[in-house]
Amino acid sequence: MKQKQVTSAADRPLTDADVTALGEVLARGGVAVFPAETVYGLGCDPDSESAVRRLYELKGRPPSQPAAVMFFALDLALAALPELAAPERTTLRALLPGPLTLLLPNPRRRYPLACGPDPAGAQTLGLRVPALPSHLASLATLERPLLQSSANLSGAQEALRLADVPAAIRTGADLALDGGELPGVASTVLDLRGYARSGEWHIVREGPIGRAEIERALKRVP
């Protein structure tokens, strides 16, 4: 029988013990509901085929749709992508952490389970590094990435509170962490696949970070 743990940010922030439990669930191929700075997410080990399949099934998400890989610390993300050139690393440091999903070129085809079944799609990686509010700051101690998608049924409204996560997802997951009520606006999706080559970028999905703020951040990149 799966063991479930629910912690309540209404009473206290997430603790190191909560993060340890999350890491253990990911390590054994489980699926977890967790809070970020935007909406509730559903996450699993990005290298576990069975875990990724379960996550997609819980959401009712078509396998052809890619997901993102989330790190809770930018240095961990940069270490996992050693092929990034110095200008690309500078760009990521200008934009992250924050409520952005960056679409990056993925010539080494890292984390292929997050990139969809199309071989050509594996050359794009969706990367998330959230800017954690103080009551979720302990998540920064998680030293492993997770494949993540919003904790809702595919195409439905994102969850602002743990109670808003569909019951089928909450009961089907191995762990549910309560981070209280979140802002409820899913991350801005920013396509940077052509940025290093030509300076081209565009917003794929509007979110908390708008065009003007992105332009200001990118102007600071040498």
How many CA atoms, within 13 angstroms, populate the side-chain half-sphere of residue 71?
19
User: Each residue of 170-186: pLDDT tens digit?
Assistant: 999 999 999 999 998 99
Tell me: pLDDT of 53 over 60. Answer: yes
Q: Which residue has the tokens 């809070």?
A: 35
Architecture of the domain delimited by 6-219: Alpha-Beta Complex (3.90)
- Evaluate whether 42 touches 150 at the Cβ level (below 8 Å): yes
Q: How many of the other CB atoms lie within 10 Å of CB of 17? A: 11
Mean pLDDT of 18-22: 97
Strand (E) or helix (H) holding 80:
helix 74-80
Q: Give me the pLDDT at residue 116, please.
A: 82
d(CA 185, CA 108): 31
Mean pLDDT of 4-18: 69
Tell me: pLDDT of 7 over 80. Answer: no
d(CA 148, CA 33): 9
What are the structural domain ranges in the chain? Answer: 6-219
Q: How many of the other CB atoms lie within 10 Å of CB of 61? A: 18
Mean pLDDT of 189-197: 94
The two structure tokens encoding residue 15: 């603790």
No. of helices (H) and no. of strands (E), the chain: 7, 10
Strand (E) or helix (H) holding 176:
strand 175-177
The two structure tokens encoding residue 120: 């050509």
pTM, 2 dp: 0.92
- Evaluate whether 195 touches 73 at the Cβ level (below 8 Å): no
The contacts found for 73-76 with CB under 8 angstroms, 24 or more apart, are: 73/97, 73/129, 73/140, 73/143, 74/129, 76/143, 76/145
φ, ψ at 124 (rounded to 5°):
-125, 130
Name which of 69, 121, 113, 74 is nearest 97 in CA terms.
74
Of the pLDDT bands very low, low, confident and very high (cuts 50, 70, 90), residue 61 is very high
